[in-house]
């Protein structure tokens, strides 16, 4: 029943999805006998610290995740479809990217997130996907933050090809197009976004 460790981490991932950083930081650590859950807890905390500007604390959480990943605690630990290490290596690269971004190291951040994309693409597919938040959405958001708008456009378009009409990439794509002064295209994408997001109770 090792896969239940990953299911137990989904509430943290959903809090990342909706930027509920304080809730993540208020969540107690799982039992230390659950190495996958513990590593994902460090990942979630690292994301929260990076998003709220504490790059030093985020880096410490990344180090804690890496320590578990490099140990033998995960040997033979499999989720439903993929090995624990396959998922945690994605977590490592996504968090490393946002730690780099928080420190203004955008070249390194982009490189880490592109590696996360490559690792996600190699996962065995399942429903729901075992990596909860598509890495191309993180990559696109990072590229917007770095003012790399053409690259951000490409990342969001690729994500929309995989997950059509998802609000996060429609919103990101509209932003990337607008920053390139492509107002008509941006307006069309924004209209799609408003349609798919019309019943949402949160703002992006």
Q: Where are the domains of the chain?
A: 1-132, 134-204
Residue pair 101/112 in contact (Cβ under 8 Å)? The answer is no
- The CATH homologous superfamily for domain 134-204 is Tetratricopeptide repeat domain (1.25.40.10)
Strand partners, 83: 78
Strand partners, 78: 83
pLDDT of 36 reads 95
pLDDT of 2 reads 82
Instruction: Give the chain's residues under pLDDT 70.
Output: 1
Inter-helix orientation angle 135-145/167-179, to 10°: 30
Two domains, one topology: 1-132 and 134-204? yes
Running DSSP on this structure, what letter comes out for residue 19?
A: T
Query: Fold for domain 1-132?
Result: 1.25.40
Residue pair 101/146 in contact (Cβ under 8 Å)? The answer is yes
This model's pTM is above 0.85? yes
């Amino acid at each position: 029943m090792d896969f239940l460790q990953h299911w137990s981490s989904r509430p943290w991932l959903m809090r990342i999805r909706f930027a509920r950083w304080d809730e993540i930081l208020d969540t107690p650590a799982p039992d230390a006998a659950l190495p996958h859950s513990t590593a994902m807890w460090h990942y979630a905390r690292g994301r929260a610290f990076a998003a709220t500007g504490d790059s030093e604390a985020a880096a410490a959480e990344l180090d804690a995740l890496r320590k578990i990943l490099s140990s033998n605690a995960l040997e033979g630990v499999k989720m439903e479809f993929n090995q624990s290490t396959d998922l945690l290596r994605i977590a490592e690269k996504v968090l490393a990217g946002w730690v780099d971004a928080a420190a203004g190291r955008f070249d390194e951040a982009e490189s880490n997130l592109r590696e996360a994309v490559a690792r996600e693409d190699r996962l065995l597919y399942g429903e729901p996907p075992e990596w909860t938040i598509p890495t191309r959405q993180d990559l696109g958001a990072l590229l917007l933050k770095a003012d790399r708008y053409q690259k951000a456009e490409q990342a969001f378009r690729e994500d929309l090809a995989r997950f059509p009409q998802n609000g996060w990439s429609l919103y990101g794509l509209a932003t990337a197009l607008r920053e390139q002064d492509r107002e008509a295209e941006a307006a069309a994408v924004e209209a799609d976004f408003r349609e798919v997001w019309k019943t949402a109770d949160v703002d992006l």
